[in-house]
Each structure stands twice: as C-alpha cells, then as structure tokens.
Amino acid sequence: MRMDKWIFIFLPILLLTVISSLVSLLNPDFYFRDSEIMAAKSHYLDLINLFIVVPAGLVLFFLVMKGSYWAKLSILGIMAYLAFMFGFNALSLFFNKLFLVYIALFSLNIFGILFGYNNVRQSGTFPEDRFIIKVSAVLLMLFAVPVYFFWLIEVIASTVNNTVPETISNMNIPANVVHVFDMGFALPVIIYGSVLLLKGKNSGLVISAIMATFVFFICISLLGMEVGLHRNNLHFDQGILVSAIIMTPLSVFPLVTLSRAVSKYFPGT
C-alpha cells in the first residue's frame, strides 16, 4: 500500500486546532473585543472543533493508515471545513493572540486540499445503484442551491436599497466573510460535484464525497452555534436554527452513502 505524504499535514492541523480551542476556552474573556454574538458563536465553535471535529479527524487518520480510501476523502472534507472556519476567524474576528494560528490553519488546510485532491485516485467503476447516488446528489444540491440564492437575494436587496444585510449588522462586522466563502467557493463546488454525480462521472463521486463531509460538519457547527446563542439568550436566526435541525440529520445520508460507494468502487491505493 502506497502512503501519500500529504496526509501527514493533517496532524499539525489537528494539533493547532486543539491549541486554538483550548487557548480560547480556558480564557472566558478571550473574545472580549468582539460582539456578544460573535464571541458566543466562536466559543461554541471552539467546543465543536475540540470535542467533535478533532476526535473525528483522529479516527479518520487512523483509518487512512489502515488503507481506507473514503477516509482520505473525508479528511479532505474536514480540511475544507477547517479552512472555511479559520479563514472566517482570521477575517471576521477582532485581532487576538491566535491570529497567526488562524492564518497557519487556513494555509495548511488549503495546501492540504490542493496536494491531497491531486493525489487521490479518481479511476474506478461507478456505482451500479444509481438511484441512491442520485438521491445523495439531490440532497447536496438542496443544501447548496437555496443557501446560494438566499445569500444572493440578501446581498442584491441590500445593494439596491443601500443598506447593510441583517446578517452583518447583527454581528457588528464590516462584511460577512461567509458570503464570500459560500458564494465564491464552497457552494459552487458542491453544486458542480452534484451535477457531475448526476451525470455518472467518477470525479463527481470523489468531489461529492469530499463535500458531503464538509456539509456534515458545517451543519453541526451551525446547529451548535445557534443553539448556543439561544441558550445564552442572545439574538439568533430562527430560520438558520430550523434549517440546521433539518439539514444535520439529512446530511448523514449523502455522507454515509457516498462513503460506502467510494469504499466499494474506489478501492484504497
């Protein structure tokens, strides 16, 4: 079995994620410069990263060491999630002592994705059970397309009315980096992979398996943050909370289905 060297970049990523979470969690006032909402969201995101994302990453790394191909794709999905989240921290939070850690994590995850995707195998037999695969593709599309148009309508309406979107004003930030990351990269990649998957392309199966992991952890983080705001009696978006409650269990289906598909039809290298 050939061991891809790129996978070892994941270990310092997990280590820095633990350090970032612990530094902030052990200091309740770490986000004192940020608004109450941003500070609370960041606090709950640190908890999710420390107790859900990192343990999941360690399990996946162990499975990769055992030769699992789908675990490689899942690690790339976690890298996409962490790049998204720490890129958000670096660009949206007020400057703090972890700024260089945010940059390091954003950079390591981006390069990990570039090296990793370039080295994963994309040749194999496309799954025979096309219906289940297409259901997974549709579910991923249902996650991406409505969110894209929601952001687009919000931005266009604010542009026409010369106002600031509510998602920005509520968090007291100059701009919503999520708009940029979602509309500029994450959502188009999910849609692109889903379209290829519906067409029966092997590359679509690989991309969608990666992004299914990304979607799963994004849903968990959104659910955790909105529940955290509610528990702290802070303003929260009921629409996002309801969507996260619905989408989190639904995101498990493409995650499991596509992981099983790549395990069966794309054997490990």
Tokens of 100: 């260089």
d(CA 90, CA 111) in angstroms, rounded, equals: 17
Residue 210 Cα distances to 4, 177, 239, 251, angstroms: 17, 22, 26, 13
User: pLDDT by residue (tens digit) across 89-142?
Assistant: 999 999 999 999 999 999 999 999 999 998 886 656 666 678 889 999 999 999
Residue 248 carries which side chain, given as an amino acid letter?
A: T
Averaged pLDDT of the chain? 91
Query: pTM to 2 decimals?
Result: 0.93
Q: Let me know if 177 is exposed, middle or buried by CB neighbors in 10 A (0-12, 13-18, 19+).
A: middle
User: Could you tell me the residue range of the domain that residue 240 belongs to?
Assistant: 5-265
Tokens of 108: 């390591």
d(CA 164, CA 22) in angstroms, rounded, equals: 34
**Residue 225 neighbours by CB distance under 10 Å:** 24
Whether the pLDDT of residue 13 is over 70: the answer is yes
Tokens of 161: 């009315």
CA dihedral over 74, 9, 117, 185, signed as positive or negative: positive
Query: Looking at the 3D structure of the chain, how many domains does it have?
Result: 1
Residue with tokens 């070892």: 8
